[in-house]
Structure 1
Amino acid sequence: MKQSDQDKKSNCQATQLPENAEGKDACTFLEKWIPEILGAGSFAAPLAIERAHRIPSGRPKPNAPPRALLIKFLNYKDKTKVMLAAYEKGKIHFDKHHIMFFHDVAKETDKKCRAYDGVKARCRHMGLRYGIQYPSSFRVTHDGNSHLFTSPTDVHTFLEKIKERPRD
């Protein structure tokens, strides 16, 4: 059975955590490690993690980045606290690895968002602010105005237009 975005509200991903850092029991590791790394003051009660596991794609090659660790919290409030604490902390490290937390979304939504990867690079190159607006729209800020797009082709067309116009 497929899991929809609605079902994934209490899921998140931890990326760049070295393979096997969690040992044999990922839930116990995360329930202890997350408050340590994000600050125990952010969590009045102990975290309750229903399950946690690596993305099931086989072991990565020696120089490949580690697989993401998928985390399913027992309740949505714990996930919200973790995401907020991670955002407020900024840089999170584990043995010199920069760890990032992301909301987990359905495969279809992730695929739609990844379609914008090429235009993200162009926006960075042009010095434009941009971002994905859930579930899969792309927002670009140019000259103080926000523009919302629903396809990478529309973003490419817009970037071509503004590239051709002379700046004041």
Structure 2
Amino acid sequence: MSKQPKNSGSGKSSTSKQSKITDCASPGNVAAQASTARLTRVETDDARKDSTLERVIEKLEDMCRSVERWRAEMRAEIVALRTDLGGVERRIQAAEARISDTEDELPELRELKALKAEVAQIREENAQLLAENATIKRKLIDLESRGCRKNLRLEGIPEGEERADVEGFLESLIQELVEVPQVTIEWAHRLGAIRGDADPPRGFIMRFLNFRDKERVRRAARLKKNIQYKGKKIYFAQDLLYPIRQQRAEFQRACKEFRRRKLRHGFAFPATLLLTYEGKKYVFKSPTEAESLLKKMQQSSAKD
């Protein structure tokens, strides 16, 4: 009998549960729950769509910004390209201007080149003419000098001593003072115009009949050195043309030093200086060569 109350209690609990299930499973509740589920799904879908749309918009904005950057870069490159093209255009115009100027100057350049070639040819011809002139001059001097080979000059005889017979007077003087007998003078005369009494007497130029007589007189006079006529010193000299005398005068300093040192020296025709020094013979074609030896002599003397 005691178990029946438990069973009655459990029966009430079971009845309550069934009542609740029955309530939930009613048609109204099911519809509401379905509607709620649909709303939840819609809201979820809308949220998803909004999120996707935002991402799409962000991507589009990024693309727009990229396009703007690209457009800015393109504009900068186009501006730079235009600048470069402008510089190229200016250089092309400058080159065209230079080409145009060159084309205008071409005739003048051709004329200038022709003138330069003509000047070069004239210079070459002038150099050739100068060389030929120098050769002709040397030959002329040699020819005239050969005509003077038999001539001697005499300086220091007072004016009027020769009287009328100049050749006889000089032949006698040579025989008496130079002691060279039997010489024949072909012709002789004073040099230059008559001078005043206060001026030194004019010299003589004499031409011997043969070259040997002239050489005998010249050498004998050179050996005698101090020859006097009525107390006045006279001297004989080779008859030389003015250009040759000029050339020999350039050796004057060297000759003076050689005389001071008592060295034997003299000239070979036309103007070559000969020297004997310490047993050696020297030939000087120019004063520079002679002065070079003089410097060596002076240095050697300084060491001694």
TM-score (normalised: structure 1): 0.76
Residues 75 and 161 of structure 1, relative CA distance in 2, 3 Å threshold: closer
Contact 2:266 2:275 in 1 (8 A): no
Cα drift, residue 69 of structure 1:
0.9
More strand by share: 1
1:6-155 map, 5 Å: 6-39=146-179, 42-43=180-181, 45=182, 47-56=183-192, 58-59=194-195, 62=198, 64-87=199-222, 89-125=224-260, 127=261, 129-135=263-269, 136-155=271-290
Partners in 1 of 2:281 and 2:193 — Cα distance? 38
Of all paired residues, the percent bearing the same amino acid is 26
Greater CA drift, 137-146 or 110-119: 137-146
Aligned residues: 162
Partners in 2 of 1:119 and 1:4 — Cα distance? 27
More helix by share: 2
The reply to whether residue 156 of structure 1 matches residue 285 of structure 2 is no
Q: Which protein shows a greater Rg?
A: 2
Taking CA–CA contacts closer than 8 Å with sequence separation of 6 or more, which of the two structures ends up with the larger relative contact order?
1
Q: CA RMSD in A?
A: 2.9
Q: Which secondary structure state, in structure 2, belongs to the residue aligned with residue 5 of structure 1? A: helix
Contact 1:11 1:70 in 2 (8 A): yes
Give ranges in structure 1 of 5+ residues lacking alignment.
Answer: none
Partners in 2 of 1:81 and 1:160 — Cα distance? 36
Q: Which secondary structure state, in structure 2, belongs to the residue aligned with residue 4 of structure 1? A: helix
Residues 60 and 137 of structure 1, relative CA distance in 2, 3 Å threshold: farther
Residues 90 and 147 of structure 1, relative CA distance in 2, 3 Å threshold: closer
Greater CA drift, 23-32 or 4-13: 23-32
Cα drift, residue 130 of structure 1:
4.5
* Structure 2 letter corresponding to 1:92: I
